[in-house]
Amino acid sequence: MRKTIPIAAAVICGIVIIADYLVQVPWLHTAAARLLEGAVVLAGFALVLGILNLLAFNFRHIRDHTPGRWQSWIILISLPITVLIGTTFPGSGAFTWVYTYVVTPLMTALGALLLFYAVTVAVRLLPLRNGAAIILFASCLVFMILWIPGISSVSPFIAAVRNWLYALPVGASMRGLLLGAAIGAVVASLRILSSLEQPYTGITEKH
């Protein structure tokens, strides 16, 4: 019974949602909409749970005198203040100020490092003398050049090369990836609907 009820609920929910995509029946649409609303509420609650987990994690850091616990203090002080400002003064400039001058610069700086890491890894892979590494590095260089703003003005040939790359090699490989992912999704869905896979119970039956 401990397993049967969750499996039955998952299978029924899955079939109702899929059926709503395929046939136009009013009561089925209403049932699917109620289920989807439930999923949205759960997703929203997951965010709240994430915040609570963050608070608990940092409380533990402070309680256990972990090195670097001053960072936990910063989170525990700044989080309630930001939440308070956002909820009690909606639409005020204070929240926008925090977001504009604290959150955005920090996150942008971290995001900008991605380019540096990507180039470093591409360069680091070169000594492998491996075909895949050379292709990765060469494509890194080619796309960096093709990405330069206004480079189409230099020569119409460059624009033609970029269009060809996007339409043929990139387009074809992405179509292949999407088809592969779609087939994988169909198989995974069928396994979950037929209860061969039960990710919600943590049990996977071997077949």
H or E, element range at 142 = helix 131-146
Cα separations in angstroms, 87 against 82, 92, 96, 148: 9, 10, 13, 43
**For residue 21, what are the contacts with CB-CB under 8 A and spacing of at least 6?**
none
CA distance linking residue 117 with residue 122, whole number of Å: 9
**Measured from the CB atom, is 95 or 195 closer to other proteins?**
95
Q: For the CB of residue 201, give the shortest distance to other proteins in the complex, in Å.
A: 19
* CA-based nearest residue to 83, from 51, 58, 107: 51
Q: For the CB of residue 62, give the shortest distance to other proteins in the complex, in Å.
A: 26
Q: For the CB of residue 5, give the shortest distance to other proteins in the complex, in Å.
A: 22
**Measured from the CB atom, is 70 or 147 closer to other proteins?**
147
**Measured from the CB atom, is 2 or 207 closer to other proteins?**
207
**Measured from the CB atom, is 1 or 112 closer to other proteins?**
112
Q: Which two tokens stand for residue 20?
A: 């709503």
- Sign of the Cα torsion 131, 133, 138, 139 reads positive
Q: For the CB of residue 72, give the shortest distance to other proteins in the complex, in Å.
A: 22
Site for other proteins, rule CB under 8 A? 33, 36-37, 39-40, 42-44, 46-47, 90-91, 93, 95-96, 99-100, 103-104, 106-108, 110-112, 115-116, 119-124, 126-130, 132-133, 137, 140-141, 144-145, 147-153, 159, 162-163, 166-167, 170-171, 174-175, 177-178
